[in-house]
Structure 1
Amino acid sequence: MLLAFQFTSPGPVIFEIGPIAVRWYGFLIASAVLIGVTLSQYLAKRRNINPDLIGDVAIWVIISAIVGARIYYVLFQWREYAGHPGDMIAIWKGGIAIHGAIIGGTLAAAIFSRLNKISLWQLTDVFVPSLALGQAIGRWGNFFNSEAFGRPTDLPWKLFIPPSRRPPEYLQYDYFHPTFLYESLWNLLVFAGLIYLFFWGLRHRDRFKVGTLTLIYLIAYSLGRFWIEGLRTDSLMLGPLRIAQVVSLVGIMAGITGLIWLYRLKRPLPDVVSSKRPVNQDVEN
């Protein structure tokens, strides 16, 4: 069959030099960050925002996102880490949550925007395409770590998981849904859609309001994540609820509410700076 393919991870390590191991997970995250910052600086120029400002806020956002992603994951997996506190910072082994990264990064961007008196929505609008692309790249780290996979499947496309990485209740199964691939492909579609809307907005500035791209990202990403999360075997849980699905529903509702606020009520989104202030930071010619 044309769509028949099987994924098998070659392992989490790219190469080792003595005691130093270069891991796919870290390499992919670093690559996503580098590509994302470069792309955001390019998009910032097109919106007449100083790209140097993007470089400055990126440092804040990246550090806060990594810390937020790890704290979020550890809190919901506390039983696993309570007896091994040293592992709480072992991010190179995997174990971060994108929702925690978004929360941490957004808080940092809000503080930076307030201090530098620039619209938070202007910043997030040039960051969300890079975020979607970064998520598409980063999900492959789950593949190399043999983690974040779905339920057992006999579909033509499937992911082999070694016995040591399988949940106890699924030890008799070899193949699982490649949810890393589903989300990577979904995020690529979200990225393509955001880029199209970004440049459409440049041609229709009078009709495309600040913050629209961020709200569309919230809705689009959350729709895909809600469905994909239902397939996974390792969801972070709060009682019977899958946390990622709950947060995704909140994201969808927040995005829809924001679009109604912008286009139906015709009011600017609440911001960290006054709406009377100029939102653009001019690029030097």
Structure 2
Amino acid sequence: MTTTLLATIPSPPQGVWYLPIRAYALCIVTGIIAAIFLTRARYAARGGNPEVVMDAAVISVILGIIGGRLYHVITDHDSYFCRGCDPVDAFKVANGGLGIMGAVALGTLGVWIMMRRKGLPFAPLADAAAPGIILAQAIGRLGNWFNQELYGRPTDVPWGLKIYRRVDESGAVAPLNGRSTGEVLTVVHPTFLYEMLWNLGVVVLLLWADRRFRMGHGRVFALYVAAYGAGRFWVELMRSDPATHILGLRVNTVTSTLLFLGGVALLFLLRGRRETPEEVNPHAPQPGSAVVEPGGNAVRVSGDAEMTTPVTGADTSWSRPRDDGGVAGR
């Protein structure tokens, strides 16, 4: 027993750093920043305007928090709408409780609407963002380690996770906000670690598949949905914490199954050629077209997007520059 415990993974002594910063929040923010940098680079490489990614990030983060909270409250409704429960607690996001599936779903819907309003295709941005999204999920899973949550059943494997007793300043049990007393309550499967490693593997898979098969038209995003659903399914089978059940199965097990099946179906339905830069950003100047630079000088775009030549006597009264790099008529 002594040898086994020495080989286990210790939990952090606390989940809240009194700066005040919650370790979970810091992990989520770090994941978002990493996702933005990766998505900007990938979207620009596909021919899109990387500034569009910043607009999408703002929308997806805001709606992601709302969607994640809604998913949590709906799937754990007994914790908020039972006899003796205070429904107002459903709005206390700081107390914990965000469902990543709901966050991605509502965030994706919001970005789709944004791209429709901009007149830009959604699929290229979704494909560019898919590896960044799953990377952010992997980084965010570290927050569950600090919170001592979402762990699996008791185990004696060498990489088991120690769960400590935590108490607040008054000595009351406080698993989330308290500090460790050093007492080990149990040793469990670190399912947060399993899912984090799976997610990192999916990042590599998506980057490789996109480069190897020149995937486009939403297929990278579809592969992300299918791969994440498959991984989350087997991770859920190892968890033992309280959860809402549907037909005897954990609700996240059912959702993961639907994600996997939906992702596979999308991969089949969206099969086709990789999109061209013109499809990614239809507002971008096309080779041979006349555009107007700041100051009113007309230039003609050559076959090389970086090369322009002056257009003598061009009538520039019909056009005006657009924020997204294209030209629109008055």
Q: Give the structure-1-normalised TM-score.
A: 0.83
Distance 1:80 1:35 in 2: 33
**Structure 2 residue matching 1:249: 3-state secondary structure:** helix
The equivalent residue for 1:13 is 16
Secondary structure of 2:240 counterpart:
coil
Counterpart residue identity of residue 44, structure 1: Y
- 1:160-179 alignment to 2 at 5 Å? 160-163=162-165, 164=173, 165=175, 174-179=186-191
- The number of residues matched between the two structures is 261
The residue number in structure 1 matching 2:103 is 101
- In the TM superposition, residue 26 of structure 1 has moved relative to its aligned partner by 0.8
Kept in 2, the 8 Å contact 1:235–1:242? The answer is no
Q: Which has the higher strand share?
A: 2
Distance 2:119 2:254 in 1: 33
Q: Is the 8 A contact 2:222 2:264 kept in 1?
A: yes
Residues in 1 aligned to 2:24 and 2:94: alpha-carbon distance in whole angstroms: 7
Aligned counterpart, 1:224: 231
In the TM superposition, 1:133-212 aligns within 5 A as 133-163=135-165, 164=173, 165=175, 174-201=186-213, 204=214, 208-212=215-219
2:115 is matched with: 113
Alignment deviations for residues 31-79 of structure 1 (CA, whole Å, 9 cap, x no partner): 1111111111111111111001111111111111111001110122222
SS in 2 for 1:5: coil
Q: 3-state SS of the aligned residue for 2:9?
A: strand
Query: Which of these residues, 234, 244, 258, is aligned with residue 237 of structure 1?
Result: 244
Structure 1: unaligned runs, 5 residues or longer:
167-171, 269-276
> What is the root-mean-square deviation of aligned Cα atoms in Å?
2.6
Is this contact kept in 1: 2:216–2:273, CA < 8 A?
Answer: no
Q: Which amino acid aligns with 2:122?
A: L
Deviation at 1:250, TM superposition (A): 1.2
- Amino acid across the alignment from 1:85: P
CA contact (8 A) 2:68 2:100 kept: yes
**2:60 aligned partner:** 61
Equivalent position amino acid for 2:280 in 1: V
Q: Does 1:246 align with 2:254?
A: yes
**2: distance between equivalents of 1:121 and 1:188?**
22
Give distance in 1, aligned partners of 2:33 and 2:91. 22
TM-score, length basis structure 2: 0.72
Q: Which has the higher contact order (CA 8 A, sep 6+)?
A: 1
Following the alignment from structure 1 to structure 2, what is the Cα–Cα distance between the partners of residues 251 and 107?
A: 15
Corresponding residue number in structure 2 for 1:215: 222
Between structures 1 and 2, the one with greater helix share: 1
Determine whether 1:256 maps to 2:259. Answer: no
**Contact persistence 1:47–1:280 (CA under 8 A):** no
Sort the Cα spacing of 1:243 and 1:232 in 2 relative to 1 into closer, same or farther, 3 A. Answer: same
Q: Point out where structure 2 has 5 or more consecutive residues left out of the alignment.
A: 166-172, 177-183, 286-304, 307-330
Q: How many Å apart are 1:235 and its aligned residue?
A: 5.7
Q: Are the equivalent residues in 2 in contact too, given 1:26–1:92 (CA < 8 A)?
A: no
For 2:273 and 2:245, how far apart are their aligned partners in 1? 36
User: What's 1:33 paired with?
Assistant: 32
Alpha-carbon distance in 1 for matches of 2:111, 2:39: 14
User: Partner of 1:272 in structure 2?
Assistant: none
* Offset at residue 173 of structure 1 (A): 5.6
Is the radius of gyration larger for structure 1 or structure 2?
A: 2
